[in-house]
Amino acid sequence: MPTSRTEHCLGDIPRRNAVRYAEVPSYVADGRGVTHGELYGRASALAAALAKAGLRRQDRIALFGRNSIAFGEVLAAGQLSGIIVATVNFRLAAPEIGRILADANPRVLFVDAEYLPVIDLARAELDLGLIVCLDHTERTDVVRYEDFLSSTAGADLPFSARPEDIACLIYTSGTTGRPKGCILGQRELFHGAHLMNVEMRTGSDDRVLLTMPLFHIGAMAIGLGLHARGGTSVLHRQFDPVAVLDTVAGQDITVLHLAPTMLQALLREAAGRPGSLAGVRTVVYSAAPITAPVLQAAMTAMPGAGCLNLYGQTEVMTSGLPRELHRGEGAARERRLSSVGHPFPDNAVRIVGEDGTECPPGTPGEVTVASPAMFRGYWNDSAATAATLRDGWCHTGDVGVLDEEGLLHLVDRKKDVIISGGENIYSLEVEEALVTHPGVVQCAVVGIPDERWGEAVCAVVVPAEGAAIDVTDLREHVSARIARYKAPRSVVVVEELPVLPTGKVDKKALRQQFAARQETGA
């Protein structure tokens, strides 16, 4: 019996699926699909076309577009060949996209036709070589994707990835400044894909609907988790609750991946279509905890489904609250639902204070993680790498607490802690108090400059339909649940909150908006 453990590459997944699940669809979008067998053939031909263009293992390409089969094929070509794929957030402005492309410095750019004008704006300052358009275009200064791929149709894979290779550069949301390119390795992503598969408990008969963008680690990891056991990824270019309901029924969707805000929108739409979500077996949510009323509504609409809450960052997937811990009644269940679960198998989590020492259970501190699926550092940023990766631990920048049961509870982002009058106020606890008010559907709490207190708590709320928000009433409601000094000093009513591609509320944008409004007296 061999005693050594074989190291794997992410590319082993599409290679294995082409044999074991050759006839099972790998990606489905816009009324067509490719099987796992076809994906391997087309991705191999694409890698051969890149080799023909002069690329070798660990050269870089960039991928700039919405969810599509072509997007998945480019990812698979990188997984198989060891060519590094840098993904680009299509929601960024042209200067930001230009900075990412300058940082990644790709040899080839794959881009949707709708974003070619953005590339035109940034192109003058970039050394872009070959540009391949992922969908239809009449332009003659770029290469059409199918033409590029067909030039080497039927070709074998020109070279193969190795476990030590970099697989992807995924740029962070940029909530703390300019986006940083997270270096994700072949070995680590293979481990992470199988970790996701175990947590989701999916097989080759499962079909996930991905509406979050694949350029982000969340949707990418879920898709890889399905593919780890030959499952199918059904792709939407954006989230639309009506389209989701239609696809769940028409495509036999068994797995949904949503932010809690998306889940709420879907449940509202599903209320008028009883039974429309009955076939769903697993609901994966991330970006925020789920409230008991939303969970109950989800369980009513999807009686056969289990829920899984995932917590992590581009840098590392940390923990999960599995379906069993979503069940039960009373205070114990409420406490579990307020957590992000236990650390994943093979992960270690420590809560550390400002001096780096480990905090006892129940004491807030920074969440640090050690994991075999962790990122390797930031591309071209040794200072940020050294600040985040210390002695084998990833310092997440999140403030959390481990309770006596080993459940991890998030308190805040370190940068989101509001210091008012010398007291630390964690935005999450204020938000949890606010959403218990019947007139509040959604909220976000940020700190804004205040001459007297240094910072003041500002609540930005989305009201329930027909509700009138009374600031005094809201403050009293919060003060009855947490310390009075933590109650919002100002309340702003909005129709919707700005969100990042991850589904998380963009608090950086809110801080800038309301601090600027305060300065101008608007």
pLDDT tens per residue, range 120-133: 988 777 888 899 99
How far is it, in rounded angstroms, from Cα 71 to Cα 78?
Answer: 11
Q: Cα–Cα distance between 279 and 185 in angstroms, integer?
A: 35
Among 147-156, 201-210, 460-469, whose mean pLDDT is lowest?
460-469
Question: Could you tell me if 144 and 154 are in contact, meaning their C-beta atoms sit under 8 angstroms apart?
Answer: no
pLDDT of 177 > 60? The answer is no
Model confidence at 39, pLDDT cuts 50, 70, 90, reads very high
Q: Where are the beta strands (DSSP E) in 178-290?
A: 181-185, 207-210, 232-235, 255-258, 282-286
pLDDT recorded at residue 331: 84
What are the structure tokens assigned to 60, written together?
Answer: 């870089």
Q: How high is the pLDDT of residue 52?
A: 98
- Band (95; pLDDT cuts 50, 70, 90): confident
pLDDT given for residue 520 in this prediction: 42
pLDDT of residue 267: 94
Q: How far, rounded to the nearest angstrom, does the alpha carbon of residue 153 sit from its chain's CA centroid?
A: 33
Pairwise CA distance, residues 202 & 195, whole Å: 11
- Please give the domain boundaries of the chain with CATH numbers for all domains: 339-414 (2.30.38.10), 417-520 (3.30.300.30)
Tell whether the model's pLDDT for residue 500 goes beyond 90: no
Handedness of CA 332, 337, 340, 342 (dihedral sign): positive
The residue written with tokens 């669809």 in the block is: 25
Distance CA 227, CA 206 (A): 10
What does the pLDDT look like over 267-314, one tens digit per residue? Answer: 999 999 999 999 999 999 986 667 777 888 898 899 899 999 999 999
pLDDT in tens, 371-427: 999 999 999 999 999 999 999 999 998 889 999 999 999 887 777 788 787 677 888
d(CA 479, CA 462): 19
In this predicted structure, the answer to whether residue 519 has a pLDDT above a threshold of 70 is: no
Q: How are beta strands 365-370 and 393-402 bridged, if at all?
A: antiparallel
- Contacts by 146-149, CB closer than 8 A, 24 or more apart: 148/46, 148/49, 149/42, 149/45, 149/46, 149/49, 149/73
Q: Does the model's pTM come out above 0.75? A: yes
Q: Beta strand pairing status for 232-235 and 25-29?
A: parallel
pLDDT at position 3 is 47
User: Residue 208 in contact with residue 186, Cβ under 8 Å?
Assistant: no
Residue that the structure tokens 């982000």 belong to: 216
**437 pLDDT above the threshold of 70:** yes
399: Cα separation from own chain's centroid: 19
Give the three-state DSSP class for 296: helix
Choose among 85, 11, 17: nearest CA to 226.
17
pLDDT tens digit string along 303-343?
899 999 999 999 999 999 999 998 877 888 888 888 999 99
Site of tokens 């310390």: 483
State the average pLDDT over residues 143-172.
96
Residue 372, CB-side half-sphere exposure with 13 Å CA sphere = 13
- pLDDT over 90, % of the chain: 69
pLDDT at 18 over 50: yes
The overall average pLDDT reported for the chain is 91
Q: Tell which residue, 402, 416, 419, 415, has the closest CA to residue 352.
A: 402
Distance CA 286, CA 225 (A): 15
Summarised one tens digit per residue, pLDDT across range 239-262 is 999 999 999 999 999 999 998 878
Torsion of CA 223, 226, 232, 238, to 10 degrees: -30
Which residue is associated with the tokens 């050594």? Answer: 4
Using only C-alpha atoms, what is the Rg of the chain? Answer: 23
Tell me, what's the pLDDT at 174? Answer: 53
Residue 51 DSSP SS3 = helix
Answer yes or no: is pLDDT of 5 > 80: no
CB 102 within 8 A of CB 125: yes
Residues whose CB falls within 8 Å of the CB of residue 30, separated by 6 or more in sequence, listed in order: 68, 69
Taking the C-alpha atoms of residue 377 and residue 303, their distance in angstroms, rounded to an integer, is: 42
Task: Mark 208-218 as b/e (b = at least 16 C-beta within 10 Å).
Answer: bbbbbbbbbbb
Residue 522 confidence (pLDDT): 44
Between CA 187 and CA 166 the distance in angstroms is 9
- State the Cα–Cα distance between residues 233 and 253, nearest whole angstrom: 9
pLDDT of 64 higher than 90: yes
Q: Do the beta carbons of residue 280 and residue 252 sit within 8 Å?
A: no
How confident is the model over 449-492, as pLDDT tens digits? Answer: 887 777 889 999 999 988 889 999 999 999 888 888 889 999 99
